[in-house]
Structure 1
Amino acid sequence: MITAGQLRAARALLGIDQRELAELSDLSVPTIQRMEASESVVRGNVDSLMKLIEALDRSGIELIGDGAASQSGGRGVRLKDAALSESRQIKVLAKKT
């Protein structure tokens, strides 16, 4: 599984935009946009998700699940606590209104 946050972070680590990720994964830009707009776990058909994950893997991205150790020594991004993240999002939204 991959979350929308992991997808955005992976794209940022690679320094690519949604169009470039769409090309790498042989998906459409609107599909990438829908995936990144997901609330948590990215939803899509199995074929699209496999294309996405394989493209990220080929590009050097290792997806790390909750509580899992990284298999290599490369750099990565991990959210420490989902509840902490949600409280930060609520504060950001409150400031905007």
Structure 2
Amino acid sequence: MFSVRQMKAARALLAWSQGELAKASGVSEPTIARLESEDGEVGGRAETGDKLRSALEMGGVEFIPENGGGAGVRLRKKAAKR
């Protein structure tokens, strides 16, 4: 699972609005707004969280697990051009 803070940070890194995340994930914008109004782990149905995480990862974000420094997100390193 991942946190609401990670989801918001991932959206910010991608410069995505809630509407853009809704379009990419197939989750409605009101659902995303409701989920982001809370703190803690992303709530709702497991498949909703899976769709959101997958869309953010497809957009280029990596979720960083808790490793003593706190969970987070970062942009995936782009492949070098040949």
Is the TM-score greater than 0.5? Answer: yes
CA–CA distance in structure 1, aligned partners of residues 48 and 6 of structure 2: 16
Equivalent residue letter for 2:54: E
C-alpha distance in 2 between matches for 1:2 and 1:13: 16
Total equivalences in the alignment: 72
SS in 2 for 1:8: helix
1:11 & 1:58 partners in 2: Cα distance?
12
Alignment match, 2:74: 76
| Alignment-derived partner of residue 42 in structure 1 | 42
Tell me how far 1:52 sits from its aligned partner.
Answer: 0.6
In 1, Cα distance between equivalents of 2:11 and 2:60: 11
Look up the equivalent residue of 1:76 and give its one-letter code.
R
Moved more, 4-13 or 35-44: 35-44
Structure having the higher helix fraction is 1
More strand by share: 2
Question: Normalising by the residue count of structure 2, what TM-score does the alignment of the two structures yield?
Answer: 0.78
Kindly provide the amino acid, as one letter, of the partner of residue 40 in structure 1. Answer: G
Structure of larger gyration radius: 1
Higher relative contact order (CA 8 A, sep 6+): 2
Give the RMSD, CA atoms, in angstroms: 2.1
Structure 2 stretches of 5 or more lacking a match?
Answer: 76-82
State how far apart, in whole Å, the 1-side matches of 2:11 and 2:63 are: 12
| Structural mapping, 1:13-32, within 5 Å | 13-32=13-32
Q: Structure 1 residue 76: deviation in Å?
A: 2.1
Residue aligned with 1:63, SS:
strand
